[in-house]
Structure 1
Amino acid sequence: MKIKCSKSNLLAVQDTMDILKGRWKIFIIAALCYDKMRFSDLQKEIEGISAKMLSSELKDLEINQLVNRTVVSTQPISVEYELTEYGRTLKKVIEQLADWGIQHRKRIIGKELEKAEV
């Protein structure tokens, strides 16, 4: 007997992909998994992302209640981002993606990456 994925599961996956779609959102979430970061630090951490794209992706993540933005009254003023409690529920997903990616690279390329905390 062949087991099929239920329509509700497929819809749930589609909803998840709609929220996390794009090249950068998962990288941003992964970068914020363990600590809050300033905008400039996020841009340095995520190689290849432009300031405009980072700003846009952070706004989307804020709208979906995954990231909080805090203006810090320093001189000059800086902005910090951190995952919300709801956003932190994705930490396990990010860790599983990283584990799968390490195994995939090992299988396909034959190289093992150093496993670092996500």
Structure 2
Amino acid sequence: MAKKKAYNECLNTVKPVKDALEVINGKWKLAIIISVGVGNERFTDIQDSIEGITPKVLAKELKDLEQHKLIKRIIIDDYPVKIIYRSEPYADTLTPIIYALKEWGINHKKMIAK
């Protein structure tokens, strides 16, 4: 019986973690969320703030993050038409996770450097 309980507890933790990682996993998604979150609104500003990302990949990842309601694409009907990206309020729920990952990364670097 204890084995079944441990299995269920593991499953109840692993499944939501996997669901979360499906949204933010990958080489670029967190970097894009951070870039837009700190105020980079224009496509080129976002691209310039993330070393190594290609325009094609950035466009795909922005669309994906928009589908997950983390980034909003805003079209400003002007001449010429201007497109900007902003963080959705829902993206703010990732802030403590991002800072926890940052802290863990800093501590991990120190730990393996010993």
Same topology, TM > 0.5 = yes
In structure 2, the CA distance between the partners of 1:109 and 1:74, relative to structure 1 (3 Å rule), is farther
Instruction: Give SS of 2:37's match.
Output: coil
5+ residue gaps, structure 1, are 111-118
What's the CA shift for 1:77? Answer: 3.0
Q: Which residue of 2 aligns with 1:57?
A: 61
Q: Is the 8 A contact 2:40 2:46 kept in 1?
A: no
Whole-Å separation in 1 of the counterparts to 2:38 and 2:109: 24
Which structure's CA Rg is the greater one? 2
Q: Which residue of 2 aligns with 1:45?
A: 49
The size of the alignment, in residue pairs, is 110
Give 1 or 2: higher helix fraction. 2
Structure 1 residue runs of 4 or more that deviate by more than 6 Å after TM superposition: none
State the identity as a percent: 35
What's the CA shift for 1:37? Answer: 1.6
Whole-Å separation in 1 of the counterparts to 2:113 and 2:79: 47
Q: Is the 8 A contact 2:41 2:85 kept in 1?
A: yes
Pairwise CA RMSD of aligned residues? 2.3
Choose between structure 1 and 2 for higher RCO, CA contacts under 8 A separated by at least 6 residues.
1
2:84 pairs with one of 76, 80, 83: 80
Q: TM-score, normalised by structure 2?
A: 0.83
Equivalent positions of 1:1-118 (< 5 A) are 4=6, 5-109=9-113
